[in-house]
Each structure stands twice: as C-alpha cells, then as structure tokens.
Amino acid sequence: MPSSEAATIWQILARNWALISMVTTLVIVVGTPALLLRKYVRIMLNIIKDTPPPLSMGPRDFVRIEGEQVNFRAFDGLNLRGMFLFSGSPGSSRGMILFCHEFASDMYSCARYCRPLLEAGYDVFSFDFRGHGKSSSDDGFLPRQWATNHELADMVGALAFVEDWLEQQGRAPEVGLFGISRGACAAVLSAVHNPRVRAIICDGLFSSDATLEYLMKRWAYIFAKVRFVYENHPPGFWRFLRWRLTRVCRRKLKIEFPSVRKALMKMPARPILFIHGEKDSYIPLEQTRMLHALAPWPKQLWIVEGAKHNQSVIVQPKEYARRTVAFFDRYLAGHSEALPRTASKTA
C-alpha cells in the first residue's frame, strides 16, 4: 500500500512538473527578494535610529556669545528659543544672517562660525531646533542627524519670525542662511520657495535620500555575505529600498525626509557656498560634488584639505572666516537698511 501511494505521488508530480516548476520558481524569485528587502529595511531602520552623530566640538572648544534671547513658534506651532546677536561695530548693519546649528548642538555653536561675521558688521539670529537646547520638543519625537519635516517646520518658523522682526525695525526683510550639516539641509529646504533668502552657506550639506543609498551600499556586506550578491544589485533595487525605508520611517517614527537633492533642482537662482571637509568619512565628498552640480548659479565649492565632518572651521579658521565674510559681502551686504547697534557680550 505505501508503495502504491508513493507511485501515485510520483505520477502526480510527473504530470504536473511544469506547473510545479513554475510555482517553485515564482516563490524563489518573489519570496527571496521580499525577505531580503525586509531584512535590509529592518537593519537600515536601526542604523537610522541608532547611528551616533559625527564627532563635533564640545562647549569648551569656543567662547560662547550671549545674545538677546527671544521665543517664537515653529510653523506647526511648537515653542522654540532663539537669540539675536548684534554686531558691536559702529555704523549700520550689513545684513541679517540666520544661523542653523548642527545636530546634537545648540544655538550657541554660532560662536564657532559666525564671530568673524559679527566683527564684519553682520547681525546674526541663532536658534535651537526642537529637542535641542532650550526649545520644546514634540511628544514622542526624538531628534536625529537627518533633516526631517520637523526641522523644516522649525526653519520656516524662524524665517517668518526674523522677517517680521526686520520689517518692524524698518529694515528690508531679507536674510542670509548659514547652516552646518543637518542645519544646512534644513536651510536649503526652507529656501526653495522663499525669495527673501538672498544667499546660503552650507557646511557639510547632504541629502537624506542620497546618503541613505550610500549607507545601504556601505553596510550591505552585513546582510549579504556573498560579495557578488551585494555588489551586483541593480540601481533600481537601492532606489526601491530607499522608498520602502522612508515609508516605514513615516509609519513607525512619524517622520519624513524631504530631499535636499530635489530642493536644489527646484531652487531659483540663489548664491550658494558649499563647504566640505576632504576627509569627511560621514558624508562622502562625491555627494557634495553632486549637490553642487545640481545647484543653480551663482555657486561656489570649497573642499577643505585635511578636514573631517564639521571640522573645516578648525582646520582652516582664517580662510574659513575670509571666505564666509567675502561671500556675504558679495551677495547679502547692501540688502539691509540701518539698524541701531547693541553690542554682543562674550562669556
């Protein structure tokens, strides 16, 4: 009896071998990539959640500058904290610069980058992004090193606040933006549809979508032990994986990643200075070159030899000061009217 049952099974398999082969192939072709994608997304989500920020300077690496502190609201209504720093030099203001600090820092980091601008006669407004410094944070929101829709809402609110303040002072509501790393991303994203932004300096700029693809490829060997496998995924695989990952982030983390790359493609003519460390191991140099190529004219690209992420101002402080002041002298000065001075105090 058992032998006859076995024979029957083999007869069924023989008669339907083509169908069985097709089903088996379909399971392998569809199931394997699905399982691989699921594993990729899960581990990449952990990287987004747990990757530490790049090394930055601590509070003792610069002399803090105290300014006139104010409260204002982000575009979504969250309470944020900022401060005005007024140049101590006599005469009228050369312009207003809105400074956007890096991740895991606060508004006081402007002292590292903006002191030469204050000495050159520019006013600076610096603020704490949500979840940083003295600003509030959303319930359940954890800031990360990626620019999200939340940081964009902070930037839109800061721009509106500064523009209103300038108008109240009888000044032209035009500003320059100066952003560091994630702050540079938020600056670019907020400037696309704001003609009152006259010029932008971006130090360590990156686009979350392109950076995610880079990290996926960089960490792929963790998921695919066979080198041939992870080195031969088609480009469409990485784009689909990124799309899938952003959807998971939207659902699980309640965040979105606006694309700096796409923002630059839509940007109207706007002067932009790109600064990037030659030895930046966090954001590859190729990404800054790509973003610079996408940006409208006029634009400048300065690769700082020997500098790591966010370290250009330390490696070449004098040249950093010269270039940033010269950039705003050329593209921002003259667009702002006179303002009575209040000297900043140094602590």
Residue 329 scores a pLDDT above 90:
yes
Q: 3-state secondary structure string, the chain?
A: CHHHHHHHHHHHHHHCHHHHHHHHHHHHHHHHHHHHHHHHHHHHHHHHHHCCCCCCCCHHHCCCEECEEEEEECCCCCEEEEEEECCCCCCCCCCEEEEECCCCCCHHHHHHHHHHHHHCCCEEEEECCCCCCCCCCCCCCCCCCCCCHHHHHHHHHHHHHHHHHHHHCCCCCCEEEEEECHHHHHHHHHHCCCCCEEEEEEECCCCHHHHHHHHHHHCHHHHCCCHHHHHCCCHHHHHHHHHHHHHHHHHHCCCCCCCHHHHHHHCCCCCEEEEEECCCCCCCHHHHHHHHHHCCCCEEEEEECCCCCCCHHHHCHHHHHHHHHHHHHHHCCCCCCCCCCCCCEEC
Give the mean model confidence (pLDDT) for residues 326-337: 79
Give the domain ranges of the chain: 2-51+213-245, 61-207+259-346
Give 23-60 pLDDT, tens digit per residue. 555 544 444 455 555 556 565 655 555 555 554 554 45
User: 61-207+259-346, which class in CATH?
Assistant: alpha beta
What's the whole-model pTM score?
A: 0.78
Give the mean model confidence (pLDDT) for residues 221-249: 59
pLDDT of residue 148: 86
Candidate from 147-151, 155-159, 281-285, 337-341 with smallest mean pLDDT: 337-341
Candidate from 2-11, 26-35, 257-266 with smallest mean pLDDT: 26-35
Task: Specify the higher pLDDT residue, 328 or 224.
Answer: 328
Instruction: Provide the pLDDT confidence category of residue 139 given band limits of 50, 70 and 90.
Output: confident
Give the mean model confidence (pLDDT) for residues 166-192: 95
